[in-house]
């Protein structure tokens, strides 16, 4: 029996990266617009979305493009339930291989665990955790990047409704959550949300959906564990490759290897990666981070490893990491961990 299931993350739990969403969101928004009698081509162009590109399997869109499309759809339709409308057009393949793996799962709990593990297929700007207590299972969304003013709430509503639809499709009985929570305010009547989810809906809290464990254990008659496992392997391989292609990941790998040799200057790192420092700075900003943030993260990782696994003097660790003296290193380390290097070593 599980207690808590952690999401799959790559490299480091707080790894910086470009935030992207699965492109099927754009297709679902377009269908919702069509249902309102609105042609979506102009809105797609305004958001910088190529209609041909989103038809390609496993294509992705920058989060800002998806947000722009949600915003335009909401403004034109004046429909406060546009997220639910878009979700009503979803199929298992709307979540790409993840949706197909969920559809092949042995029961709702198995499917929900896959959603947790591979939630970054949907959006790599957040992860999902799963908690079990007193016969209840709660799936909670957590942001792993700064989302202030960027997350458009209809997208969250759409993901929740799509997830429930996927779980209901493999349940041998009518599946309804115990409750659904959203962190944003809902400036409309809650009745349509409660009808869609078949449970109470609470805004202004956090993003979560809770089920009875027994309901999730209802067996799926058409489960295919071999297919689900094959899809799991394919998903993990593709997510890892996508992360490896990011400049922030390449810079991080380089620094973890070369900081012990005294290489910390951005110009040197950029030169060795065959890119100009200016282009590096611009690309890292696009990926939601900076060179100094990555350098600090790598210094912290190396420092923690050295302080834990050997007796190297703290002053030598400071110089190894490129600090001019031990006091500067100690201040930085306490900022990172809340403890001085000496306190950390004594734990």
pLDDT of residue 152: 75
CA dist., res. 4 & res. 75, Å (int):
40
- What CATH number does the domain containing 267 carry? 1.10.10.60
The last residue of a domain, from among 211, 227, 242? 242
- pTM over 0.75? The answer is no
Instruction: Tell me which residue has tokens 């050295």.
Output: 306
Same domain membership, residue 200 and residue 287: no
Pairing relationship of beta strands 60-62 and 20-22 according to DSSP bridges? antiparallel
Q: Per-residue confidence of the chain (347 residues) as pLDDT tens digits? A: 334 443 333 323 333 346 788 999 999 999 999 999 999 999 999 998 988 878 776 788 888 889 999 999 999 999 999 999 999 999 988 999 999 999 999 999 999 999 999 998 998 878 889 999 999 999 999 876 555 444 479 999 999 999 999 999 999 888 999 999 999 999 999 999 999 999 999 999 999 999 999 999 999 999 999 999 999 998 988 887 766 677 888 898 899 989 988 889 999 999 999 999 999 998 888 776 889 989 998 999 899 988 987 788 999 999 989 998 999 999 999 999 899 999 998 87
Report the number of distinct structural domains present in the chain. 2
Same domain membership, residue 272 and residue 220: no
Same domain membership, residue 270 and residue 123: no
DSSP conformational letter for 136? E
The last residue of a domain, from among 190, 215, 242? 242
CB 242 within 8 A of CB 172: no
Same domain membership, residue 232 and residue 293: no
Same domain membership, residue 205 and residue 268: no
Same domain membership, residue 165 and residue 39: yes
The last residue of a domain, from among 242, 275, 293? 242
Q: Is the dihedral of CA 298, 303, 308, 310 positive or negative?
A: positive
Range of the domain at 46: 4-242
CA dist., res. 159 & res. 21, Å (int):
11
Strands of the 201-202 sheet, one edge to the other: 4-5, 126-133, 136-143, 208-212, 179-181, 201-202
Same domain membership, residue 320 and residue 273: yes
Which residues make Cβ contacts (< 8 Å) with residue 6, sequence separation at least 6?
116, 129
Same domain membership, residue 33 and residue 120: yes
Same domain membership, residue 225 and residue 341: no
Same domain membership, residue 224 and residue 263: no
Same domain membership, residue 233 and residue 166: yes
CA distance to 60, 99, 143, per residue, from 108 (Å): 27, 13, 24
Same domain membership, residue 170 and residue 103: yes
Alpha helices in the chain (DSSP H): 24-35, 41-46, 63-77, 82-87, 96-103, 108-117, 153-170, 191-197, 213-216, 225-244, 247-258, 266-272, 277-286, 291-309, 314-320, 326-337, 341-345
């Amino acid at each position: 029996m599980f207690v808590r299931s952690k999401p799959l993350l790559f490299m480091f739990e707080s790894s910086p990266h470009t935030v992207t969403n699965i492109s099927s969101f754009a297709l679902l928004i377009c269908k919702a617009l069509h249902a309102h009698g609105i042609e979506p081509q102009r809105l797609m162009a305004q958001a910088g979305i190529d209609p041909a590109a989103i038809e390609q399997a496993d294509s992705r869109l920058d989060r800002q493009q998806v947000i722009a499309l949600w915003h335009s759809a909401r403004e034109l339709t004046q429909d406060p339930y546009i997220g639910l409308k878009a979700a009503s057009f979803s199929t298992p393949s709307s979540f790409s291989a993840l949706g197909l793996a969920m559809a092949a799962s042995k029961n709702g709990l198995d499917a929900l665990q896959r959603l947790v593990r591979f939630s970054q297929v949907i959006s790599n700007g957040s992860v999902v955790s799963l908690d079990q207590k007193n016969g209840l299972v709660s799936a909670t969304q957590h942001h792993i990047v700064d989302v202030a003013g960027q997350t458009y709430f209809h997208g969250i509503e759409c993901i929740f409704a799509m997830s429930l639809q996927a779980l209901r499709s493999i349940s041998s009985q009518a599946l309804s959550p115990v409750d659904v929570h959203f962190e944003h305010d809902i400036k409309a009547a809650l009745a349509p949300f409660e009808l869609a989810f078949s449970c109470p809906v609470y805004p202004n809290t956090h993003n979560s959906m809770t089920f009875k464990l027994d309901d999730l254990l209802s067996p799926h008659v058409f489960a295919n564990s071999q297919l689900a496992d094959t899809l799991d392997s394919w998903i993990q391989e593709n997510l890892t490759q996508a992360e490896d292609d990011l400049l922030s990941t390449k810079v991080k790998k380089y620094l973890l290897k070369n900081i012990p040799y005294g290489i910390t200057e951005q110009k040197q790192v950029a030169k060795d990666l065959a890119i100009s420092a200016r282009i590096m700075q611009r690309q890292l900003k696009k990926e939601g981070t900076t060179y100094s943030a990555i350098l600090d993260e790598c210094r912290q990782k190396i420092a923690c490893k050295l302080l834990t696994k050997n007796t190297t003097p703290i002053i030598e660790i400071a110089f190894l990491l490129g600090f001019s003296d031990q006091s500067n290193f100690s201040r930085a380390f306490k900022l990172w961990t809340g403890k001085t290097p000496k306190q950390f070593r004594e734990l």
